[in-house]
Amino acid sequence: MSKVPAPEQSLTFTNPLLEGMHPDPSICRQGDTFYLVNSTFEYLPGLPVYASTNLVHWDLIGHAITRPEQLDLSSARASGGLFAPTIREHNGLFYIACTAVGVDGPSGSFYITAASAAGPWSNPVWLPDAAGIDPTIFFDGDDIWWAGCRQVAEPEYEGQTEIWLQRLDPVEGRLTGPEHILWTGAVKGAIWAEGPHLYKHGEYFYLLAAEGGTGDNHAVSVARANNVTGPYLGNPRNPVLTHRNFGGTAAVQCVGHADLVQATDGSWWAVALATRPRHSLTLLGRETFLAPVAWENDWPVFNPGLGCLSESGEVPAFVTAETNAAAEQPLITSPNPVRRVLGRDEPWITARGFPAQHMGEAGSENRIALLSTGARVDRTEPAAALGVRLSHHTAAFAATVERLLRSPAAGGPMQTLVGISLSQSPESQIRAELSVEKAARIDIIEVAGGVSRIVESRNLDDETFDRLVAGEPAGIELRMAVLDGATVRVETGTDGAVVLSADLPARVLSTEAAGGFVGAVASVYSMGTAGTGAVFAEMVYER
């Protein structure tokens, strides 16, 4: 865990707290330690769990979905999978409520539990009667409540949703008792009242919700009631947090989907998602931001005096001692270094599958053997790819194809396709790719709207081809650099000499072009004939 300052000091936080794709944040506290979880959609391991003792420095301590028997996302569409988790702690047990969307096999709403937020987490308890998405769980004495969001059966307008509530029986693992409709949002005509969270503060129960969709009109609204089942009265000042009135030139946009937590000193804080477009392009996805919350007239006020997310702020020193939230070494300790060497211990993410399913030993911690299953990264398939989130508007991702791997068990003609990519979805990618079949070739490829085009291509010499086919060291260098969120510079080379170079517009990787709910991911991949692949070395992420 990260160091905690002396009690008399305060800490400055800088937004975003978690850079790159960290949407739909949910937060809770146990003792002196805060825990935070995010959506991961089609990426596994799913639902990263972060810990902090000061709300400023966050350590990745584990993931909630780490085993194939928990969840099968192999069929998940782009931006399908794990939606909007809620994390809570009650009587020493942690709960995460979540929804699996658009997958074959078990899907819908579920909850998992763990004695430690670092895991291991249980297999899902599925709730087939829990309609809709974005579930939350709320503990009120001996009562456990489950709330979610779904479309109204007979809507007044397109996109109208309702937030509903029902008791949860954790012994039986099912919903029970009457259902209560709590709210349809603050603004008539505003779509998707979703992401509900419930709290008890003073004499009121509070319902926090997002509305307006997760794009430019995103906002946070709040309602309160004397009873958890309602009726709920909306705050006359709703929405209580939004940047939608700032216009398209604002540095921070799409603010919404918030969750509240109280610190040990009694102060209240909110985490929320927001985006940081650059040149009107959103490459990094939705990130996690922090804001102080005050209570005035029994209503929460976000960032008092400003009413919006700020670039920075101060957190009081409400922690009096250094603690260790996880009983094990964190996977990543913030802040991230300027140059991160990527190896086997990196918490890689993989679309529709687990990284360990594709990763093999390669002789050292900073080398990885990656074997293809025959699935492709430009299709909605569980391809062999290891990724890290693009977290900065100016950053570089590089790897060296040290040597090729060709399994004799594959038999027949074999084509090896290995490389690096920046990807927002199977239909929106930029790749630098080594192809070896009857010849060896390097291609720079752009995939836009599902249509692939080779931007630059060059055949390698016969000597290099022979070394590659023989599995001998070849040293094919691949590098992609994002420049100010506008351009992607792709360079490939051997022995330090540039073979190919191209500058491509970054727009293909943006939410504006590709849609969806995720941010760009930088990956090494193998997608040739099953059993072929490569040993990747010198993998780095630089900012």
How far apart, in Å, are the Cα atoms of 260 and each of 220, 263, 360, 534? 12, 10, 41, 46
Q: Are 385 and 521 in contact (CB under 8 A)?
A: no
Strands of the sheet containing 133-140, edge to edge, are 133-140, 143-151, 161-169, 174-183
337 upstream amide cis, omega within 30 of 0: no
CA–CA separation, 380 and 110 (whole Å): 24
Please say if 24 is a catalytic residue.
Answer: yes
CA–CA separation, 526 and 48 (whole Å): 25
**Which of these is catalytic: 19, 59, 194, 402?**
194
Residues 495-516 as b or e (16 or more Cβ within 10 Å = b): eeeebbeeebbbbbbbbebbeb
If phi > 0 it is left, if psi is from -120 to 50 it is alpha, else beta; for residue 516 that is left
Strands of the sheet containing 46-52, edge to edge, are 26-30, 33-37, 46-52, 59-65, 332-333
Q: How distant is the alpha carbon of residue 39 from its chain centre? A: 5
Please say if 491 is a catalytic residue.
Answer: no
Q: Reduced to 3 states, what is the DSSP secondary structure of residue 423?
A: strand
Residues 64-95 as b or e (16 or more Cβ within 10 Å = b): bbbeeebbbbbbbbbbbbbbbbbbbbeeeebb
CA–CA separation, 476 and 351 (whole Å): 25
CA–CA separation, 253 and 272 (whole Å): 11
Cα-based torsion angle of the residue sequence 262, 144, 132, 208 in order, rounded to the nearest 10 degrees? -30
**Which of these is catalytic: 19, 24, 211, 287?**
24
CA–CA separation, 38 and 287 (whole Å): 9
Closest to 137 in 3D by CA, of 105, 103, 173, 161:
173
Residues 6+ apart with CB under 8 A from 346: 340, 386, 388
> Could you tell me the sign of the dihedral formed by the alpha carbons of 438, 443, 447, 451, in that order?
negative
Give the residue numbers marked as catalytic.
Answer: 24, 194
